[in-house]
Amino acid sequence: MNALRQIAAVTGLSLRNLPSRLGPSLVIVAGMAAAIGVLIAILSLAAGYAELQRRTGDPERAIILPQTADTEGAGAISRGVLGDIIAMPGIARDKDGAGLADPEYVSILLANRRPAGRAPGLATLRGMVRKGLAVRPELKIVAGRMFLPGARELIVGIALQPEFRGFEVGDKVIMQDGQWPIVGSFTTGGDVLEGQIIGDAATLMSAAKRNAFNSVIVRLDGPNGLKALQQALAARPRLAVRAERQSEYYERTSQDTAGFFHAVAYAVGGIMALGALFGALNTMYSAVGARTQEIATLRALGFGGTAVAVSVIAESILLALAGALIGIGLAWALFNGQSYAFGEVLFHLAVSPALVAVGLAWALAVALLGGILPAIRAARLPVVDALRAT
């Protein structure tokens, strides 16, 4: 009999007998469901956060920051140098030749979370230039209208509204120089800005008595735009600013947090998986024990040890994958799309296809580790003794 047919026959037999070993089999299923569910749930936090940053960072845009500032929050670019910066080569221009640039002002304000009684949280307040909106074509008003240039008006991202109280269209926000109405709400298709408040940069800066922008966001002129811009800026050291691809900026600034989420997920998932592995070993040893006579009979009939061993591992894999799928399904049902507020960054947890693959790969690894020793025992079972032991 050829080896593959042997394996198929023995595996089929062992799987048909599975219902009689339901209890022990459930240990693997439940263990893997819990371990993989926890792993995927925490990873969905990392994935959602990374996805948000990825959507915000557009490789066709660059962020210009002072050389001394690592993040836009720490940046200060005076009005005086703005014209020089926007005139640089490498920046895309509109039909009138004006550079597609958005000098931005970024600040943070305290806001009351929903529901009432929760501790207050931080919200980002971003000032943009009305003309600069051309740099961010993904920003679309969904209710009310856009703020007017020079007006003391604000628009609010749709991700911010469910998290904080007092940010509906028509509400008024206390500002340094009086109350500013919220005239509209906007979407950006799910990026960082959607959890923020936006107003006219010049008006906000005069309210804040600030004279410096935090950063300049520019649209790059073709694939070589960034290089041209960086070279031009390097040739003007007195401007003391540098350009970074926006996608790289968000990747860099989110590294610490993303790395932390991953570390927690793999540490917790690893300990859980270890526990599930001990459970799987226990179950597979007892499965081999319960099948002693069956295995001995098969060996006496001429089935090879390999076929028997493979059937044990196949059973372990099948049960582990079933458990992992349940765990992934639960994580998906409970967490996918849930909104999460990490400081002032609002995002949605995401159980992505890549995470499903990670979960299944972990389950496979645990199943192999948990099946291999019992499989070796099954293959080495002394046939005569086993048949005698009734």
- How far is residue 174 from each of residues 82, 195, 351, measured CA to CA in Å? 30, 18, 38
Residue 78 within binding range of another protein, rule CB under 8 A: no
The binding track of 202-231 with respect to another protein, each residue x by CB under 8 A or -, is --x--xxxx-x-------------------
| Minimum distance of another protein from residue 290's CB (angstroms) | 9
* Per-residue contact flags (x/-) with another protein for residues 259 to 298, judged by CB under 8 A: xx--x----x--xx-xxx-xx-xxx-xx------------
26 touches another protein by CB under 8 A = yes
Tell whether residue 166 is a contact of another protein (CB under 8 A): no
Stretch that binds another protein, among 74-82, 91-99, 220-228, 291-299 (CB under 8 A): 74-82
Which one of 7-15, 21-29, 130-138, 144-152 is the stretch in contact with another protein (CB under 8 A)? 21-29
Closest to another protein by CB, 27 or 229: 27
Using CB under 8 A as the binding rule, whether residue 174 contacts another protein is answered as: yes
CA-nearest of 209, 215, 206, 204 to 125 is 204
Q: What is the CA radius of gyration of the chain?
A: 30
Tell me which residue has tokens 């080896």.
Answer: 3
Q: How far is the CB of 192 from another protein (least distance, A)?
A: 16
- The runs of H, that is alpha helices, within 192-336 are 201-208, 225-234, 246-290, 292-300, 305-335
Which residue in the set 10, 11, 14, 38 belongs to the binding site for another protein (CB under 8 A)? 38
φ/ψ of residue 218, rounded to 5: -125, 150
Spatial contact of 307 and 381, defined as CB atoms under 8 Å apart = no
The answer to whether the Cα torsion of 372, 373, 375, 376 is positive or negative is positive
Burial (CB count within 10 angstroms: exposed 0-12, middle 13-18, buried 19+), residue 226: buried
| CA diameter of the chain | 95
**C-alpha triplet 120, 125, 129: angle, nearest 5°:** 170
Minimum distance from CB of 370 to another protein (Å)? 10
If the CB atoms of residues 231 and 255 are measured against another protein, the closer one turns out to be: 255
Taking the complex as a whole, how short is the minimal distance between the CB of residue 2 and another protein, in angstroms? 35
Q: Please select the residue that binds another protein; options are 68, 224, 231, 339, rule is CB under 8 A.
A: 68
**Residue 326 interacting with another protein (CB under 8 A):** no
Separation of first and last alpha carbons in the chain: 28
**CB–CB of 181/168 below 8 Å?**
no
- CB-nearer residue toward another protein: 44 or 188: 44
Q: Considering only residues 40, 41, 47, 312, which one is a binding residue for another protein as defined by CB under 8 A? A: 41
175 binds another protein (CB under 8 A): yes
Is residue 341 within the footprint of another protein (CB under 8 A)?
yes
Q: Angle at Cα 97 formed by Cα 219 and Cα 82, nearest 5°?
A: 60
Task: Quickly count helices (H) and strands (E) in the chain.
Answer: 10, 14
Measuring CA to CA, how many Å separate 101 from each of 58, 89, 130? 14, 12, 10
Of 3 and 108, which CB lies nearer to another protein in the complex structure?
A: 108
Binding site for another protein (CB under 8 A): 23-24, 26-27, 30-31, 34-35, 37-38, 41-42, 66, 68-70, 73-76, 107-110, 113, 118-122, 125, 174-177, 204, 207-210, 212, 256-257, 259-260, 263, 268, 271-272, 274-276, 278-279, 281-283, 285-286, 340-343
